[in-house]
Structure 1
Amino acid sequence: MLKVGVFVDAENIKFNGGYQLRYDILRRFAARANGTLLRLNTYLAFDQERARDDPEYAKKSYIYQQMVRDYGWKIIVKNVKRYTDEEGNITTKANADLDLAVDAMLQAENLDLILLVTGDGDFLQVVTALQNRGCRVELLGFQNVSKQLQRQVDAFYRGYLIPDLLPFPHEPRNEWGKTGSCVRGVCTKWFPDKGYGFLRFIRDVSPNLWITDPRDPESPYESVFCHINELAEELTPEMMMNRETVVEFHLKESDVDDGLIATNVRLVYAPT
């Protein structure tokens, strides 16, 4: 049985598109191949100085930590440190890189698969070392994910595309994949001369995420028709033709066939 460990660089994710990440969904994603979750570590920042002066901050932090624990995660709290430069400017930092790297290396001999949730390129050597010890290393990130890190890992997943991993603030009761629901996906084909193309989204979390062709009956992906009139102003044909561009759209039944069409297509993420 596949032994799995998950290590979340929570601060990096929080400030790079993953704010409000749902730890219950992340846990399901990590165990999608019926693996045994041996380690579930997340490294959270806590500002002790602010907590002393702001009871509301302290209360919300403790409630959030307890909620994450209730999902079965081990929380490693990193206290925020303040640094003052020569000009008197104060910066704060709660770096968990070293703790995460050491924990992952120490646990490597007990694990078959390690899921790193981060975008920090500083983990490049850690990934290589873990792979050399026989672990498969996968990466999940949102924005500002190191290109070198993406190339080094065994698989990279853009967090925006994982069903329900991030909530839709404007769709509190969203049922991902259902007609009328809101989903996130990428454009697989775009015909600028014809003014239409096809989008693809993950219908449900599955061990077959490598089967990206929606025509395969075992594929968890679904294809959706999209007309240029449904694109928001900021979306250009060039952006649509880039497979890294992530869009958000509503699903509607087609009047022509049994398929789905995309409406109200908005930009979520575009590579720089």
Structure 2
Amino acid sequence: MVSHQRVGVFVDAENVRYNGGYQMRYDILRRFAAREGGALQRLNTYLAFDSERAREDFEYQKKSRAYQQMVRDFGWKVTVKHVRRYTDENGNVSTKANADLDMAVDAMLQAGKLDQVILVTGDGDFLQVVAALQNTGCRVELVGFKNVSRQLQQAVDAFWSGYLIPDLLPVSYEPRNEWGKAGSCVRGVCTKWFPEKGYGFLRFMNQISSTLWVTDPRDFDSPYTSVFCHANEIAEDVSEDMLMNRETILEFYLNESDQKDNGLVANNVRLAFGVNR
């Protein structure tokens, strides 16, 4: 599918890193941004770098430079934000590498040449930026992990949990994970649960697609897959109330069903992320 839509992506890397998105894959994020065939006009990320630490820690310097280069190799513009240290009146030292202003200004300056903006952050300080971008005619989407501002989620045109996007956040203990295939580990949500029967159904995004709005797995165009789940497979710390809350994100293994051809069942279902309060 080819689209004339011009897309810009702006990543608040430090916010993502400290809120569940450590090891987020920029190549997958790029594919997600281009899922409707639009032209990726801007791909901006804002990475922190501690110059003082780098002078004393060669390994840190080496890894940081290598990471920056890897991100650039995926076609991203990297803006390096140098860490600053502040000492309060009690002698306590704090560090800061805030990219909010840079990211907001860049997004606004580019808005006139974009049709869609994807913000990757959870910071509620971007509320006014979202409104301003929408007032220029841009569609604004949000990708976030933990601690995503509730107001920000409600202000954007679409919010996507980074946990649910296939392979965006690797499963650390499954380095060769083949998302969506039998034997793989995926993340999804519970769509139906029958407490009196002791089973229900989970749903996961099987592929990055232009039809993510088709959430019914029974629809031929849907990129989602439904999975049967027995109560015995649910971890003890996952309550029925949590299961029936769509904001609860579950991590589970897929296995082929013995009862249904081409069907899948969920095993070892555990909590990936609980509900934002």
TM-score normalized by the length of structure 1: 0.99
- 1:113: Cα distance to partner? 0.4
One of 158, 162, 166 as aligned partner of 1:159: 162
| Equivalent residue number for residue 266 of structure 1 | 270
| Equivalent residue number for residue 10 of structure 2 | 7
What do the CA deviations read for 1:120-160 (whole angstroms, capped 9, x no partner)? 00000000000000100000000100011001100000000
- 1:66: Cα distance to partner? 0.3
AA of the residue aligned to 2:102: D
Q: Secondary structure at the match of 1:176?
A: coil
One of 97, 101, 116 as aligned partner of 1:98: 101
One of 164, 170, 174 as aligned partner of 1:171: 174
| Equivalent residue number for residue 139 of structure 1 | 142
What do the CA deviations read for 1:6-32 (whole angstroms, capped 9, x no partner)? 000000000000000000000000000
- 1:233: Cα distance to partner? 1.7
| Equivalent residue number for residue 183 of structure 2 | 180
Q: Secondary structure at the match of 1:212?
A: coil
One of 67, 70, 74 as aligned partner of 1:71: 74
Q: Over aligned residues, Cα RMSD in angstroms?
A: 0.6
- 1:88: Cα distance to partner? 1.0
AA of the residue aligned to 1:220: P
How many Å separate the matches in 2 of 1:216 and 1:13?
Answer: 33
Q: Secondary structure at the match of 1:161?
A: coil
Residue 88 in 1 paired to residue 91 in 2? yes
TM-score normalized by the length of structure 2: 0.97
What do the CA deviations read for 1:15-54 (whole angstroms, capped 9, x no partner)? 0000000000000000000110010000000000000111
How many Å separate the matches in 2 of 1:229 and 1:84?
Answer: 53
Alignment of 1:118-133 (within 5 A): 118-133=121-136
How many Å separate the matches in 1 of 2:90 and 2:229?
Answer: 53
Residue 198 in 1 paired to residue 192 in 2? no
Q: Secondary structure at the match of 1:40?
A: strand
Any gaps of 5 or more consecutive residues in structure 2?
none
How many Å separate the matches in 2 of 1:163 and 1:174?
Answer: 11
AA of the residue aligned to 1:260: L
Q: Secondary structure at the match of 2:163?
A: helix
How many Å separate the matches in 2 of 1:15 and 1:195?
Answer: 37
AA of the residue aligned to 1:265: V
Q: Secondary structure at the match of 2:75?
A: coil
How many Å separate the matches in 2 of 1:170 and 1:151?
Answer: 33
- 1:170: Cα distance to partner? 1.1
Q: Secondary structure at the match of 1:252?
A: strand
| Equivalent residue number for residue 30 of structure 1 | 33
Residue 252 in 1 paired to residue 255 in 2? yes
Residue 238 in 1 paired to residue 252 in 2? no
AA of the residue aligned to 2:34: A
Residue 113 in 1 paired to residue 116 in 2? yes
How many Å separate the matches in 2 of 1:108 and 1:96?
Answer: 18
One of 39, 42, 46 as aligned partner of 2:45: 42
Residue 53 in 1 paired to residue 56 in 2? yes
- 1:195: Cα distance to partner? 1.2
Any gaps of 5 or more consecutive residues in structure 1?
none
**230-239 or 102-111, larger mean C-alpha shift:** 230-239
AA of the residue aligned to 1:219: S
Q: Secondary structure at the match of 1:226?
A: strand
Runs of 4+ in 1 over 6 A off after TM superposition: none
Q: Secondary structure at the match of 1:239?
A: helix
Once the two structures are aligned, what percentage of the paired residues are identical? 72
Instruction: Number of aligned residue pairs: give it.
Output: 272
How many Å separate the matches in 2 of 1:53 and 1:128?
Answer: 43
| Equivalent residue number for residue 230 of structure 2 | 227
How many Å separate the matches in 1 of 2:245 and 2:193?
Answer: 9
How many Å separate the matches in 2 of 1:189 and 1:93?
Answer: 44
